Chain A
Amino acid sequence: MILASRNIWDTRIQCVYSIVLGQEGTQIDAWACGNYGQVTLDPPRIIINPNRLYPIEGILRRTRRFSLNVMPAGALEEVLRFMRLRRREPRKTELMQWRLDEAHGVPYLPDALKTVFCEIEEILDTGDHTVMISRVAESRAHEAHAGEPPLMSREVFGGGMAPFQRQFRKILVKSGVLDAARAVWQKRRPPPSADIAETTYCTGGQTEDEVRQVLSYGGFDYSRGLRPPPSPHKPCRAVGVCVVGTHWGAFHCQLVRNANRSAHLFVCGRDRERTERLARSVNADDCFIGMDAAARDPRVEAVVLAVPAHQHRSATEICLQAGKHVLVEKPIATTLEDADAMIEQSHRFGRTLMVAEDMHYRPPISLVRKHIDAGDIGEPLHLLMHTGGINRPQGWAADRSRLGGGVFMDIGVHYVRAMRLLMGEPDTVSAFPAMQINTKMTGEDGLSAVFGSRYGWQAHLLATWSSNFGILPDIVVMGDSGTFHLWPRKPYVDYYPASPRLATRLVSYIRPYSLQARLTRPWFQRIRLRSGKDGTGYIAEMRAFLASVAEDQPAATPPEDARRDLEIVMAVYSASVSGSPTSIPQIQIG
């Protein structure tokens, strides 16, 4: 059967698959290239023509050298993983075993079938792609794959069919069944007239204005600096740890027990009766009345501070000066000056200072971040987060002067960390307080913030003590290729790919539309992914702290990360007061 070509890919121009690598400074980028070719034989020259939207185009334009690595057929799986990465991912080459060739000054793939090192002689601007005429400096065959056939672009762009799928399709094609089915289908629904230029433009082409628009958000997305840590291991020995505070401190006692059963646990409080009761209930080795007593005791190596926020600095300083390692509750402090002083003291006394930010260790966050990095949601665009519920804080937690703010400082700070892990560092924020319901609270009891990034993503965070959300995911991450739902305290995440899954596709063929609408279910699109047994990061966080103490290693989460969270919360409050978008101080990412 003869079919009209509908776009440039129907012309079968893309042939042998290769990966082009270029480097500018410390930035290495890779690009899947299927349409290179020889242009002269003597001297040998080839042409590549990268899309101007790809950041490698700029790198090659400026450095004028690259390696073209012809991939072997056996590399299909690795190549498919590479192809899922988004265009703006700055760490594409982390997936690859690349090496720098000193002679040519460019990275290359030693696992390729063949590498061609090239120097660009001439660049021709040809619309949304750039033709680069390049002289071959060296062509190097890698013996590990000698005799292996090259990987063909159609294998890669076809999504990597399994061998049985390929055989099945071959039978359908050769027997004419596929053509017959196509003929019947086309009789019912004649295809639109083929227009190669228009269809190619709509599928993958850009005008000058479109190129400018896309590149205005940056060729690479450098916003993600912070990464979830690997799962912490159990401490190698029993640590003497004292929990200070008998309210939220009781929860920390349980965490210490769960994180390290053999830990020597101590409890410290102001109220003797309450402190002794807690010590008995958690089977503590001993208890102290007043923090000075705990700080003096040589059995105590580390202290967990579950005290009011305005006491974080003074309590931390007492412990650090006494040579204890400190895990302090969030927020790190109520002012940036206090946070800086605490960090300075931890460096001066050479002791660990870590802030209890469970979000950093929440396994679903780590899982979703891996999927974002793998390109499974495409370009991350929106983050929706909400936290809180109906609650009436009492005492210091209801007092702005002692908490440093209201609900946003209290629990919004956790989600600031979630935003930094999932999307990256924001550049601006607008914030809007809601009507104050709890007028006994001097801090705000409801606030929405909208964060923006120069790299094009946005994050919405709503924190409230005055309304209930019902049963909803607390974090939703949306990209142009998929969406993730993260549920509070659940050890799984729900993934909704943007492309329709089989059940969705089948139902879409049902007519009339009213019946189709009745049969459609949102969960047809849902893929539930398990992230382990624990849906929270509490135990992992405590384990990380105790392990750093036991092994005398720096904390997996330095206090500077918590200081940055506080800085962002402070910017939210500035924006809330000013009523206009506010810039967030920039930090070095790398």
Chain B
Amino acid sequence: MWVSVAQSSYTHQLILETGRFSFIALHERQSDIALACGTESGFTRDKCALLDLSLHEDNFLYLKGALASTACRVRTSKLVGDHTLFIADLLSGEMETRATVYRQLLLSDIQDL
């Protein structure tokens, strides 16, 4: 899988340092989490402290109640403008069965708020 992360972000710095990240798919009722994570920089505030995270094998963090959480290890990266494209291997993951009745959270859901 691939993710594109702004080079100015704290997440970018952490992925570069560790070569790994967790990918969390939020559902339509989790816009508050998206807002909390997407409107403030990790340089100024520990955003993870607000989240109901759990530690999994190889120290990957998963989010409870999300549609799915996946452990990823960066295979290669590429600079694309002011972002970096990380192409990663999927190592393991889990999904919450009760969340499957919801669809993924869309950017437009947050814009509508």
Contact = CB atoms under 8 A, between A and B. Distances in A.
A152 B104 contact: yes
Interface string B94-106: 1111101101101
Given A1-B98, A15-B104, A131-B2, A43 B81 contact: yes
Given A42-B82, A152-B103, A174-B101, A12 B68 contact: yes
Interface string A179-222: 10010000000000010110010000000000000000000000
Interface in B75-90: 78, 80-83, 85, 87, 89-90
A443 interface: no
A556 to B, nearest CB: 49
Contacts, number: 102
B96 A11 contact: no
B16 interface: no
B93 A150 contact: no
A96 interface: no
B31 interface: no
Contacts of B91: 196
Given A12-B68, A179-B98, A47 B85 contact: yes
A124 B95 CA distance: 30
A134 to B, nearest CB: 11
A455 to B, nearest CB: 33
A39 B5 CA distance: 8
Q: Kindly state the interface size class of chain B when it binds its partner.
A: 20 to 34
Contact of B80 (A2, A133, A196): A133
B60 interface: no
Contacts of A178: 97
A4 B93 contact: yes
Secondary structure class of chain A's binding surface, majority of residues: mixed
Contacts of B100: 173
A154 interface: yes
Q: Kindly state the interface size class of chain A when it binds its partner.
A: 35 or more
B82 A5 contact: no
B30 interface: no
Interface string A46-72: 010100000000000000000000000
B70 interface: yes
A3 B97 CA distance: 7
Nearest to A40: B81
B53 interface: no
Nearest to B93: A5
A44 to B, nearest CB: 10
B70 A5 contact: yes
Interface in A422-472: none
A315 B77 CA distance: 76
Contacts of A176: 98
A10 B92 contact: no
A55 to B, nearest CB: 23
Contacts of A126: 87
Contact of A11 (B1, B81, B87, B106): B1
B92 A196 contact: yes
A74 to B, nearest CB: 16
B21 interface: no
A154 B98 CA distance: 15
B90 A196 contact: yes
Interface of B: 1-2, 4, 23, 25, 67-68, 70, 78, 80-83, 85, 87, 89-98, 100-101, 103-104, 106
27 contacts: A1-B98, A4-B92, A5-B70, A5-B95, A8-B90, A10-B68, A11-B68, A11-B70, A15-B104, A16-B106, A37-B2, A38-B4, A40-B81, A41-B82, A42-B81, A45-B81, A122-B80, A152-B103, A152-B104, A154-B103, A169-B101, A173-B97, A178-B97, A196-B70, A196-B92, A197-B89, A200-B90
The 10 closest A-B pairs by CB, nearest first: A5-B93, A12-B25, A40-B81, A39-B4, A12-B68, A1-B97, A11-B70, A196-B90, A12-B67, A40-B83
Given A4-B93, A133-B80, A200-B90, 10 more contacts: A1-B96, A5-B68, A5-B95, A11-B90, A12-B25, A39-B85, A42-B81, A154-B103, A179-B97, A196-B92
